[in-house]
Structure formats: C-alpha cells, structure tokens
Structure 1
Amino acid sequence: MKKLFHRLFGSLVFKIGVAIIIVETILLGLFGGYYVQYFGAEIDRRIVEQISAPGRLIQDEQLKISVISDPKQLELLLGPHLRDAMAIGFDGTIYHALDPMLIGRDIANIPDFSTNRFSSNLRNQVLFTTDGPDGRNMVSITPLFSLNANQPFMFVYFKVSTTGLEQSQHQMQSVLLIGSVMCILMTSGLIFLFMQQTVLRRLITASQFVSEIQFGKLSTRLLPAGRDEIGTLERGLNAMAESLERRTNQHQIAQEALRDSEERFRDFTLSSADWYWEMGADLKIAFASYKFYQLIEELHGSPQGQSFDKLGLKAEADQGWDSMVKRLESHLAFQNFEFSWIGLDGEKHYGRINGVPVFDLDGSFKGYRGTGSDITAQHRAADEQHALQRQLATSQKLEAVGQMAGGVAHEFNNCLAGILSFAEVARAKINDPDRVKEYIDHIISLGERATSVADQLLMFSRRRIDQPTIIQVDTAIAEMEKLLVTLLEHRIELQIWSHDAPLYTCVDPTQLSACILNLAINARDAMPEGGTLQISCCGATIPPINERSTDDDDHIYPKGAAGNYVVITVQDTGTGIPEDILGNIFEPFFSTKEPGKGTGLGLSIVHSWVEESDGFIEVESIAGEGTTFSVYLPRSEAGVTRVAAAHEIENFPGNGERVLIVDDEQSLRTTAKIILEDAGFNAIVARNAEQALEIIAKSYKTDRIDVILTDVVMAGLSGPQLAIEALRQYPEIAVVLMSGYPARTRKEMEKMLGDYIFVKKPFRPAQLQKAIHEALASKMERRRL
C-alpha cells in the first residue's frame, strides 16, 4: 500500500491532476466569490431601495401618509417581510401605524424603541439595521417638512426583516458553490483526458524509450506523433539515441585500440632495456616499468610513492640531487641526468634518466613522464677507451721523446765537449789571463746554449715558467729574421711586414719567438717546392659581442674576445690544409707528416701558449693555395720593450742583508752563497724547508732573515709551501723562488703567492743579485702600505 501511495503521489498524472484542480479551484473561487459578493451587494441595494422608496414617495407627496395604516398597500410596497410602519410627529406622538393599537401613543413609552434617532436636526433619510428577537431588521426613517420649515414636523418609520433575504442569499451561494464544484470536476476530467491522450501517453512512451536505451537497446527509435514540443522532444531523443549509438561504437573501437596499445606498451616495457616512469604533481613516483622496479627493489624496496633523491641513488652531478630537485620544482624538462649505485654484485652501476613536465589543458601541473637507461656498459667502455687513449698518448709521447732524444743528446754533447775542452785549455793557460778570459767566455756561451736546449725541453713538457714583459712585437719579429732565413733555406722567400706605429704586448719573449718559429717550420714543411712566407703584425679592435654587426665577421671571434689586440699573421703559399682535418690540427700528436718527420706537438704548444696569454688563434686555409695563421694577443701600452741580456744586467751589491738559501742540491747552495757573499750579502744555507723554518724561528729575535731564496722543487715541503708557511708566520720576510724545472705553472704560482720574484736556473750573479734587490724593494713597499 505504501509503495502504491508513493507511486501515486510521485506520478506525473497525479501531479498534473492536482495542479489542474488547484488552478480551477483558485479561478472559480475568485470568480464565484466575486459573483457572490456582487449578488449579495445587489440584494442589499434592492432591499435599501425597496425600504427607502415609500418614505421618499411620501416626502415627495406622491404617496399619501395614510398608506402607513393600510397593511395591504404596504405589503405591496415592502413585501411580506415588513415588521412595522409608523408616522411619528415631531413630539413623538404616533399618528399612523401598521398596528392600530399604537396610534396616539408616544414612542418614548414603547419598549426597546430607539428614540434617539428622531431629532429635529435630521435633514435626510437614514437607514440602519437592528438586531431583535426575531433576527436582523433594516429600519428607514424619513423626515417630512412643511413649506419653508427648518425642522421636520413628522417622521416616516419603516422596519423590514432581512431574515428571508439572507436565506435567499445563502441559497444562491450554495447553488454557486455546487455549480463551481461540478464545473471543476467536469473541466478537470476533460482536461485530464485531453492531457492523457496528447501528453501523458507520449511521455510514458518516451520514458519507456529512455529505459530501453538505458538497458543497451540503442537501436530503439520513437515515432514522432506531431510537430509540437513533445514531437521536438521525441525527435531530439531519437537524435540522442543515434549519437549515443555512434559514440558507443566509436568508444568500443577506441577501447579495443587502447587495449591493443596497452598490450603493445606492456610488451615494449617488458622487452625494452630502458625504463619508463611517471610521477604526480607531488613529485613522487606514481608509475614505473618493471625494469625500474626490479632495479630499485634490489636496493630500497618499491619506488612507488618515493622521490628520486630518496631511492638511495648517488647523483653524479657536482650539486648532487639538489640541481635535479630545483628543476623538478620549477617544472622544467631535464635530460641525461646520471646517477650511480652499488648493485648486489658489489659492482658500481650507472644510470641515466630524462623527463618532461606534463600539464593539463588549463595549464595546471600534473607531474612528469620520462625514461631511464642503464649506462653501466657505456661507462665501462668509456673508461677502457680513456685508458687506451692514455696508453696511446704515453706511447706517442715516448715516441716523440725518442725522436727528440737523439737531437738533444747531440746538442748537449756538443756543448759539454766545448765546455770541457775550453776548461782544459784555460787550465793549461792559467798564467795567461787574457787567454783564460777568452776561454771562459766561450764556456759561458756554450752553457747558455745548453740552457736554451733545456728551455726547449721545458716548453715541450709545459713546465717552463713564463716571464712576461712588455715587448715591441715588430722589433721581436725583426730580430728573428736571420734565424728564419737560415731555417727556411733559399727555396722559400721570407717577407716581413710591420705596422706603421709600434705595437706592444705583454708576453714571454722566448715563448713568442718559439710560437713564430713553430708556425714558420710548419709553413716550410708545407712548401716542399718552395714558395713565399709572409710574417706581419697589425692592430685590431674587437667590439663586445652585443655591439658587433654582420660586417664584423662575428663567427671568427670567440664570444669572450673584446678589446684591442696585436695580430701576428703567418701566411704561406703551400699545399694548404684539407677541410676535413682543419679542426684537428691543434690536437696533441696530430700530424700529417710522414713517421719520423714530426711529433704533432708544435701547433698544440702554440695553441696552449696563446690561450694562456689570454689570446686566441684563427686559421684560414685553401687547398693548393696556402694557409694563414692569425695569432691575436692582448695589446699593451708602451713600456719596457725587452728583457736585458744576462751580461747587460748591472751589479746590485748588498749591504749585509741576511739571505737564507734553501736548496737540496749542495753545489747550488754553495754557488749561491759565494755569489751573494761576494756581493756584500750575509748568506745562510739550509738543505730543506724544515731546516729553513727552524733557522728563521731561531734568528727571529736576534738577527732576522730578510730574504728567503728557495728552490721550487724539493723533497718534503716544496718552495711555494715553504714561502706560504714563512709568510704566514713572518709577513715581513721577502721571498725569491728559483728553479730550472718548476713543478707548477706560472698561473698556479700566481694563484698561490700573488706577485712573486722568480729567477731561473742556471742564473748569472747579476741576475741573482737583481732578484734579491727586487724582493727587498717589494718588502719595503709592503711596510709603507
């Protein structure tokens, strides 16, 4: 029963019927109430008209006042509901009455009679109702006036019962109510039948159609019964069913394709050597392929819900996982991020991951998707390749050293033979000072020649400390002309061109000469049949990269190159360099010459030195026409143009300054001590850095050490380490470094000690004295500051 009521109250038919009844009830209630009110007002109007008419007629003398005593006439005028009628004088005496017994009486003596209505001030007819034992009554009082009188001389009184009239009114209302109910029932039934046939039946059919669609009968269709709104709905439902059927078919096809794609992806992930992973917006791993699960579970269990930096993997980047986390938090793509781990086999393994951010259509961040690879095999292959390359480089260096050994041994033997010969002759002529001086000069010359050979070896090993100074480039090139002419032989014409104005640069003069010499030798070897070699220098200004125009040939200048440069150009008319190997010519041991005719180190040494001098080198070559090397060195202002030769340096005598000589070679300690003491210095010797520090500490309170002259390479603490420790404890001490084969380059020394004084072994007495005086001058300068 409850379900029946629920179905009844929830059905559209019931709701429509109730709505119709409510609407009709409201409408008929409004119209019925209006008509009831209207008819009631009309009845009241007619009663008022009926009861007031006799009084007006008597007042207008159209009816005699004696009619009040005639019951039949009054019944004709006022109907059967007349209760009383009187003609009352102004003094209250009744002159005419429907009841003859009242004639002559005073109204004041009549019980329950309202005497206050009769007033001399009454001018117009008054109507009012009264309630009595017999019900409600309506009373009419009409004043009568004589000609030109101000006060009424008589009052006409009529009293009519309204009980019958009210019953008639109630009967009329009942009839209207019953008629309204019948009308509501009849119209509701008709409207319901019409709605049932035209709306409800079609809606029920549409609902059944929707139910069939819901249960999967997508081929079901409605038959539209008209072009009204429901017909539009039916056609819309048909269109919806057709679209739904079409989309369902498409969805089934897409589902099958997706299933096939997922199966293919699963097969690929299982068979692929790479990994596939996905993380959510919280940067935690949400999906990983089997290979990745297998890798991580060996270390720290499942990677699900973890971030990369928490998986126990060591990042190979310098900043560790921090750089990766920053990119992830910034939602940036990343590539080739490498990491390592120690596997269950105890071996170190390597991996690499790539990832791209994923965004929704509204731009919101959804996470990352990416791949990964096990690159352990590549790393091990690269390590093996590097080992082989180091072995090959060592082999090539040994080959180059072997090629140079013969020449170096020959040169040194010549020098030593001359030195020994002249020394023997000088000893034999000891009593002839002039001849001894001549022979000693020859010995010194041969020693300088041997030093030059040693410098070339140091340049080859990259261990020679540069001594840069400001030089005039065109003068330096001109001084090499005789050497170059001899080197190039008569088959090659040498042309040297210089800039009109002097050009200066701050480099090591020996290194500049070696650079030009190497380029000239390469040019000579490229012109076996002869040709022309042009060497020139000029100035060039390179604007910053943001100020360069398309006419500046931006592509030939490095991005960081800007400012004023001296350009040394070495141009030949030889065979040229093939384009396919032009990019390899500066690589160490790269050579196109026949075996035994070149080491492949010349251009490499030139390139390294130019870069260390804050310059750069450009090459242009045309096969069959020649090659042009352009060396760009930073331009300097005019200053000291050359380094003075050893025999040109003046003596710098001392004045008792205490100099501590530190060297692990006894002969050099003795030689330096003799040179300094002969010059007036107080020299003390130490065989190593530890002994030197003890001497400095002991003499600090008595006779302090002024200058430390120390070798660079020594057993135990090196010379730079001794200098750093001594300056840390005793900042007022000056330091001079000396070496013939320093363990560090000039830039390394400058980085450790800043500005330092250096003297190269073997040195002349004047060179050593000059270095000591420069150190003392630097010490005085520090004191003034």
Structure 2
Amino acid sequence: MTNCVGTDRSTSAHRSNPTGCAPRRKPKASSRPLSAEKSLSLNGPTATSAATTSPCEVRLLALELGGKRLIRGSIIDISRRKAAEARIRQLTRTYALLSEVNKAIVRESDTATLLQSICRIAVEQGGFRLAWVALASGDGSVRPAARSAVDSDTLGLIPRFIGESGPACPIIREALETSTYAIAPDLLNDPRAASWREAATTTGCRAMAAFPIIVNGRVRGTFNLYAESAAAFSDDERALLDELARDISFGLEVGERERARQRAETALRNSEERFREIAETIDDVFWVTDIRRTRFLYISPAFEKIWGRPLQDAHASTAVYLDAIHPDDLQKVRDAAAPDGDPAAYEVQYRIRRPDGAIRWILEKGYPTRDRSGAFSRVIGVARDITDFRELAEQLRHSQKLEALGHLAGGIAHDFNNILTALILQKKVARSAPNLPEEVRESLDEMRHAIDQATTLTRQLLLFSRRQTPQPRPLDLNESIRQLTRMLGRLIGEDIDLRLDLHPAPLPLRADPGMIDQVLVNLAVNARDAMPDGGTLHIKTDAIELSAPEAARTPGLSPGPYARLRIRDTGCGIEPELLEHIFDPFFTTKQPGEGTGLGLATVHSIVAQHHGHITVSSRPERGTTFTILLPLDKDPASGEPPATSAPEKTGMPSGSETVLLVEDDPKVRRLTERILRRYGYTVLSAENGRQALELWAAERDRIDLLLTDIVMPAGLSGTDLAQRIREDRPDLPVLFISGYDATHAGRNRQLDPGEHFLAKPFLPENLLQSVRRCLGRSAPGR
C-alpha cells in the first residue's frame, strides 16, 4: 500500500478512509453484495500522503475462514497505464494530423490554400488551440501566411508574435536561426514568453512549438503550434511534428519545382535546340511541322520505336506518319489537327498499325505557335504511346466492375443464407417426425439435395464477392496438384488425357489450400466442358522472377519471385470478342441450366485475394491457356501448417440452460428457438438488439448464453450488442451466427475469449454442438 498511496500500513490503519481512495469521486462497481469467495474490482483516484491524487484499482475478495467472513483487499497504482493511454490517444491524433496534411499536400496545388488547409487540420484534427505559418522575408521580417484557431480570441494572439523588423517571439526566432524546432513546454514559467504570457495563457495556451520550414536548403519560415497541455510535445510527438514540418517543406518545394517546370516548357518553345536535346532523351515522339503540316521540321528518334518505320522516311514526307493511322481514326485526326478557322491547340487519341501488324494507341497533342509578327508559323506536338496505359485502365475498370458486383453478390449470398438456414432447419424438423410416409421422406431427401446445391452456389457467391476470407497456410503448389490428380481424373473423364509437367523443385506458397483446390477444379471443369469429344488437359508449373518494369504493367503485382501455373486444353477455344468478358460474373457460353457463370469469376477473385494475377489466351479450335502467377513464400520455413483439431462427433447434445436468442429473420428465429427448446433449453427471443437489451435488463441472472446474428437492423449490430452485455457480465459466453464468414460479418473484428462463431446455413446438430461447446461439454445435472 505504501507504493500506491504514499502511506505505510500503521498510518492507514488509523485513518477513517484506510483504502486511501479520494472521497471526491465514488468508483464504479456492481451493486451486488460480495458473497463467499467472490471478488470485486473498483477504479478511482487515490489520495497520497503528498496531498495529491493518483488513479488506482482496488480489488476486494470475500473469504470464509473458520466460520468468519473476511475481506482481503489490494490497491494497484494504475497511473502509468492511464498516462500511457493518454499518450496513445495524443499520438493517434498526431498520426491522423500527419495523414490529413499529406493528403492536403497531394490535393492542393496552390500554396496559400495548402498552408491554410494545414493550419485548419492542425486545429480540427490535431487538437491544437492555435496553428499558424510565419514566412520570412529577405529583410528579416516575418508575416503570417496562414492561420487557424479554436476561437477569435486565440487567433488574435498572432500580432503579439510579430515585430517590425523580425519575430517578436524568441521561440520562433530560435527556430529560424537554428534551422531546428524550438519547444516551450511550460509557458507559465518560460522567460521567453514573458511579453505575451498572460494573453496566451488566458486563451488556454500552455505550451508552444515552432518547426522550421526549409525549402531548397533555406529556412523560409516556421510552422507554429500552441497546445493546452505540455504533454502535446512529448519526444515521440516532437518527432512526428518535425516530420510533418518536413512534409510541408517538401510540398512547398514540389510546388516551386512545378512552377519552374512550367517556365521551362515555355522557354522550350522558343529554343529549337534545347527542344531537340530534351526530345531525344525521352520515349515520346516530339515533332515540329510547318503550319500546313506538309513537312516535318523536326521529329524525334522515338518515332522509329513507336511507329516501327525509319526516321528518314518521316523526314521525307508526313504521309508516312499519317498512313500508319488506322483508317477508322484518320478523319478524326484530320479534324482535330486542321479545324475550320485559325489553328488551335488540340488533343486526340487514335490507333496506328505498325509494319508488323501490331496495333498501338497514341495520344497526340499539338500546339500552333506564332512568329514575331504574330502570324501562325509552326505546329509543335508530342505523340505518346498509351497502349499500356489503356490496358491498365481497362483492367482497373474491370476490377471496379467486379468490386461493385461483388458487393451485390455478397449481399445476396448473405440474405440467401438466411433463407437456406430456415429451409434446412424446417426440413430437419419435418424429417424427424415419426411415421412419415415413404414418399414424403423421399421428397424431403430431394429437397435436401436442392438445398445442398443452393448452399454451394452461395459459397461461390461469397468467394466471388470476397466475403469469405482466405485462411492462408504454408503449402507446396506442386504437392497440392499431385494430391488433387486422382479427383481431377475422375472429374474430367477417361476420354481426356491429364498430363502434369511440374517444376522439379517445390513451389512454396502461403495460401488457402481449399481455395487453391477450388481454382484447379474450376479450371479443370471449364477445360472438360470445352472438350466434349475428348482431348488433353496439360497442367504445368514453374518459377519466375518478375522484374520491376514487368510488375508495373500488371496492377496488384510487386517485383519478386512467383510460381507460374499454366492450365492448357485442346478444346474449342474462345472467340476473341468473348475473351474480355470471360471473368465477368454470371457470364457463360453454356446452355441455360448448365452453368452459373461464377466458375471463372470465382477463380479470378481467389487469385486476386492471394495477391496474384490471371490471364487467358485462346484461339477458336486451337484450345485455351490460363496462366496464373502466385507470389512465392520467401520464408517458407517461418510458418508451420496449423494444427487441426479432431472432428466433432456427430450427435444432438441437449442442455437445460437459458439462451438469449437474437435474430431479425422471423423464420430463422422461430425454427432455431424450436430446436433449442426441443433439446431442453429455455429460450428468450428478440428480433433486434434493442429488444434483447430489454430482456437482458429483466432476466440477466437467468441467461447463460447470448446467441445473436451479427448483421441486424435498429442501429445495433450483434457485435455491439455482445459488447454492451459483456460490459455488464464479462464471463457471459457468446455465439455469433451470420450469412457472412466471421471476419467480414464482424467487420474485421477478431473474436474475443468466450466468443464463438457459426456460419449460416447450419444443421440442427451444428447448432446444438456449438451451443454445447460455448456452455461446456456437460449439461447441468447430467
């Protein structure tokens, strides 16, 4: 006790308040009395011998000893924990400030707007009382370039920091002169603040810091911050704020560089020689023609690379340049380059056909220029090969479309899982009825088969929509293929020859084994359907190293080692106009009823979730090849496959506990309640979180388990409900159910101890086993 409250045991024994807890604020605790061998924890301030208070935690334990009732107590000083929590909150605000300021630096091109945005963010996001930027002039004076404060009185402090010939604030002057930050953590006692201390402290400013803004190696000003607490400028926060000042400096420096670049471009138009020096070092085609565009005055060497034709041919005639333009785009180019009336700047995109037959997309910009007399005399232009850019843009568009459809598919799967849960439970209840006619039993079994098909479809929807989270573990791609070979052989049939050409060395991945199997099965089924009369299915693996330029051309990939999986068939192939839709969800070339259109979309989604990439090449009657790149595990020895638990024994365990059931779907709620009651449980049902809280308030001492859906209406999700109830009783077990998987249903929230998850749709035995697992293996009284 001496360490916590500053008094010894003899002193505290004679005080009316022996715990040392300060009487000003009562600690929060449960109102229930302590019973034998029960414990209680309280939090509150503790008064010390130095007449100060310190946060503490009091723990009491009631004991029965020799027929006497004793209470054992302990006091724990939690001041360090509270201080650490406050420090974490402050650093979190500073990180948020740093993030928002960097966004502003990227977004804003105007210097004044940028600086004003930074000051506003510092006050609104960083929690500072006042923020302003002082820019230094050549004569040593400073001026406020931007400012923001919590109120007008605080904003009025700024003139006190500015003198006629320089900064009146020594702290700002120190930052300007030393090129490093200056801190005044206690304005009440800092002599540097003597001239404006009273005005600053009256507005709530207790600490100040000035950070130099250095542009191109020269101090241009300071970023000044005023806080209500000295804790705002801890060592960690100083480092972050100093980094923030460097980011501001960088943003201003980039702005100056951009303006300098624009001035340089203007100068380039007046100097053909300088133009040539730059043009010959870059990949774009720079050209200069007469105003009628009948001859090239200059064309850069990049013409040979992009057009695939000799440079001297272009010098001989502009026809070589124009003849390569795709016939469908030629008129568009003529109209843009030679409009009616005076020549004008233009921008046009078009296709060219190279001598080797390749089609390239070109973005061309032209700028007519005038001579000294003011008459138009030349056209200066640049042509850029944007083929790769357009391909990347198309991939991005496709990805965004898949993402939008994924959200829709995930929502559909979630709702459909609720319906399937009701069907499964209802079918199980009906099937267990005695003396059912045989034809009824057969009909119920057929219903079960249809339900299984629907369940498989919802799983595909969740995979496609990425609402089913991969469970990665170390695996060898070659070994996964070998283990699946026998099943693939049965799947594709005897008339198709399955050939494996696997890399001689292992190909270690960190991937979800089930999802990798799903990719192989889906592609094998796709190949089988393309070879109705038989053929060959060739599966090949190897390892490649992806360079930085290669990775840059493929969204989502980084340079490094990859496993390459190629699955090639000798089937009917795919028409060129269909290839661009091959991974679209619900797109299929099969007859109605023969496919869902989700197989290849699911493959695409799984590959993307594993940070890989998939491409397809095909020619009619020549077969199809799918190529998949998956990143190799760079440290395969660092992780071991997770241990698998023994499978649950099937059965229908019962119990006699009370379950609080919360489910917004009335069918699922009624059937779940019926099953639980049938096997001995008492069930209290609620259709949303608000009703559940009312039941909890009335029946809290009876409830042994919270069984709740996660996604619910009425503004209170299942996870929020569980958190509210477990604040009242932390040891209450919780079983979450949802049509999504545990990660996405809980919005990436990890399950806490005592929390469990059951995915919809589920069988009655799954439900009863999960409930029993939450409550303990043995039912009370059994």
What range describes the TM-score normalised by the shorter chain of this pair? Answer: 0.3 to 0.5
Using the size of structure 2 for normalisation, the TM-score is 0.37
Larger CA Rg, structure 1 vs 2: 1
Using the size of structure 1 for normalisation, the TM-score is 0.37
Q: Larger helix proportion, structure 1 or 2?
A: 1
